Structure 1
Amino acid sequence: MYARPLARLIEQLQRLPGVGPKTAQRLALHILKRPESEVEALAQALVEAKKQIGLCSVCFHLSSEPVCEICRNPNRENNTICVVADSRDVIALEKTREFKGKYHVLGGVISPMDGIGPEQLTITPLLRRVSQQQPKEVILAISPSVEGETTTLYVGQLLKPFTKVTRIAFGLPVGGDLEYADEITLARALEGRRELD
């Protein structure tokens, strides 16, 4: 159906998260229509990003330096650490411009079905960091899936002897209807309620 190089390109694009066969085909055909210089620039950007981006030695967020910009920033609050599962969560939280502290990226969530236990995550470095830095608060900002809840409870219990441990509130999205919300979301929304200002 496809020439071998095109089939390989589609196959590789399908490996990306959220890219199915049709999207992979559409992307591949788009790439082939672009000037060779643009395709080379894309390929070069991919290779450079893979070679130059690693993990921050402090918080394990993506970084092109040994210590990321957030950890190096003297204007960030050192007394609050927000624990997230993935660098995507850091990016999402940073877009809000609300959190002024620092982060710790676990590198995933505890998921025995996927063979991911606490030892595969950056929990030990987190405990070491918290015991050394003694922040006033650690905020657990992990998605409320079954695995996320397991991770939150596990990490929370380990951190409680060192500092105040909180978790982000969960609830209804803006514009959402109560009748379409699941029971867990509604329960979290009720738990996270606060007094009107």
Structure 2
Amino acid sequence: MKMYGFEYEGRYGTENKVIKPFRWKDPYNRIGSGILVIDTGEKTIDIRIISDLAPYATDIIYFLLSDRHVRKMIREYQSSSRIDLYKINKTVGMSGRRDYYINFYQGFEVGGFPEGKIYAVQTKGKRLLHVSCAEKINFGWRKMYIGDFVELVAYMKQNKELGNISKKELKEKCNCWHEVGYFADDVTRNVSHII
């Protein structure tokens, strides 16, 4: 079956995924390929890079922001609220690499300080994204909750690491595009016995 994307509902109606093959091009006209997996049930985005050529981080972010399924989940997230206190942090290495983390905190209101002031202790965290010194995602993409993605993009935009993200300009800035995929529903892991 040949198509641009594939949506399916799991056996028990809990697993709603959209699977979209895509490609990207670097400045030297080399082509890379990957698979975008959007889980609308778990509210996560996953990118599986299936070529040796790593994509540029900004291209992937702009590509995700231009996808209609991702935009729908972003709108749903923005109309909700977060339970845990969080903060996006970035570390920069001597080579120029950047790692982005989301850290979660336990907050305490301390007496004697202005009302609403919360001091917090970090309780856990996770790395969201590694960007190499060549501005590429060469360690792959980690499956990411849509809320974490929104906060990461907001942090990058606030620190002027990303430009304007209006829908009209996203397609022009991005060197990624959806690709026709060949999907099969009759694949197997069973070993054939011939002797």
* Length-normalised TM-score, structure 2: 0.26
Larger helix fraction of residues: 1
Larger strand fraction of residues: 2
